[in-house]
Amino acid sequence: MKDIFIADLSKFENQSVIAFFTASMKSLRDKKDGGKYLALILKDRTGEMEARMWDNAAEASPEFEQGDVVKLKALVCRYQERLQLKVERIRAAVDGEYDPVDFLPATTKDVDELWAELNGYIASFRDPHLQALLRAFLDDPEIAAAFRQAPAAKAMHHAWLGGLLEHVVSLMGVCELAARHYPEIHRDLLLTGAMLHDIGKLQELVWKKSFDYTVQGQLLGHITIGYGMIEKKLATLPDFPPRLRTLVEHMVLSHHGRYEYGSPKLPMIPEAILLHYLDDMDAKMQTVRSEFDRSANSGRDGAQMTEWVRAMERPLLDTSGYLAGEGDE
């Protein structure tokens, strides 16, 4: 793990630091007095900061490209009331010097706890076939490692490391509650759908330097990839009942709930119908939380509507912020 994060820099004002960041913006510009300087925006998973390199900029510039993780030595100073880095030396970092995880947004939850929670749900299953299927996934070390790290999306809800696991555990929780409320529901089947519905994202996305789609992910999509992964695991479980297999796979195929959203089938069994609603609801609740955070971070008054939220085609309002202002108007 990194020693120094963006969020720590305020502790080093007027000191020199050596640290690793992503150079998310890089621009070689003309100085007023001739010569060149480098203008940079540096990021890690805790935030971002502006930086300037005034000396030897032209020489340093070819040493790294925009988007690279860089190693630098810099002075933490203040310009127009905001902290800024004055760079002395800079170069591209090499693989092994850093952990990419430090440079990508990540869940604020404890991944081990989420993992334990997930395993706890599976331990509670009464249906041995479904339990065996889910264990086959989680006991596969490659899948387990990826599942603990994958984001749930490139740019929408839960678009951070651990986001997929966080979303799945939250969804399993609300599915558990729904199974209690609708007693005719096959609870283990519903939870199986919740755990596996997005499993194809492990192959649809890559999250090494940034979040992106694989070519295979673009051409096949996580729904189909997930179906293929389940087929493969089931090939190792010869006693798995064929009808149950069809139902599990149907839940994965139909969980987007509409053809326009890429589901090749609509939910036709009660568990698939519940899964669709609860998955969509949980994702939207997370979008709402993220938007409230973003709005607060941008300094917007919590009693006002947020900006237009494109993913939901509307602005949003934070109930508690709005009610806290009761009596103000």
Sequence length of the chain is 329
In order of 132, 168, 315, the CA distances from 22 in angstroms are: 42, 29, 32
Cβ atoms of 77 and 13 within 8 Å: the answer is yes
Stretch of residues binding a second copy (CB under 8 A), selected from 45-53, 64-72, 148-156, 218-226: 218-226
Residue 323 within binding range of a second copy, rule CB under 8 A:
yes
Q: In degrees rounded to 5, what are phi and psi of residue 328?
A: -75, -35
Stretch of residues binding a second copy (CB under 8 A), selected from 66-74, 116-124, 135-143, 311-319: 311-319
Round the CA-based radius of gyration of the chain to a whole number and report it. Answer: 24
Residue 183 within binding range of a second copy, rule CB under 8 A:
no
Residue 231 within binding range of a second copy, rule CB under 8 A:
yes
Residue 294 within binding range of a second copy, rule CB under 8 A:
no
- CA 254/CA 270 separation, integer angstroms: 12
Beta strands in the chain (DSSP E): 16-30, 36-44, 47-53, 69-79, 82-92, 205-206, 212-213
* Of residues 116 and 308, the one with the C-beta less far from a second copy: 308
Residue 303 within binding range of a second copy, rule CB under 8 A:
yes
Residue 177 within binding range of a second copy, rule CB under 8 A:
yes
List the one residue from 44, 188, 198, 249 that touches a second copy (CB under 8 A): 249
List the one residue from 73, 91, 180, 209 that touches a second copy (CB under 8 A): 180
Residue 237 within binding range of a second copy, rule CB under 8 A:
no
Pairing state between β 82-92 and 47-53: parallel
Cβ atoms of 65 and 92 within 8 Å: the answer is yes
Of 190-209, which residues contact a second copy (CB under 8 A)?
none
Min. distance of Cβ 142 from a second copy in angstroms? Answer: 16
For a second copy, what does the binding mask look like between residues 6 and 45, x meaning CB under 8 A?
Answer: ------------------------x-x-x-----------
List the one residue from 66, 124, 218, 236 that touches a second copy (CB under 8 A): 218
- CA 102/CA 205 separation, integer angstroms: 18
Residue 278 within binding range of a second copy, rule CB under 8 A:
yes
In order of 43, 69, 102, 134, 205, the CA distances from 66 in angstroms are: 12, 9, 17, 41, 22
Min. distance of Cβ 234 from a second copy in angstroms? Answer: 10
Min. distance of Cβ 12 from a second copy in angstroms? Answer: 28
Residue 67 within binding range of a second copy, rule CB under 8 A:
no
Sequence-ordered list of residues with C-beta below 8 angstroms from that of 140, at least 6 positions apart, any chain = 233
Min. distance of Cβ 294 from a second copy in angstroms? Answer: 15
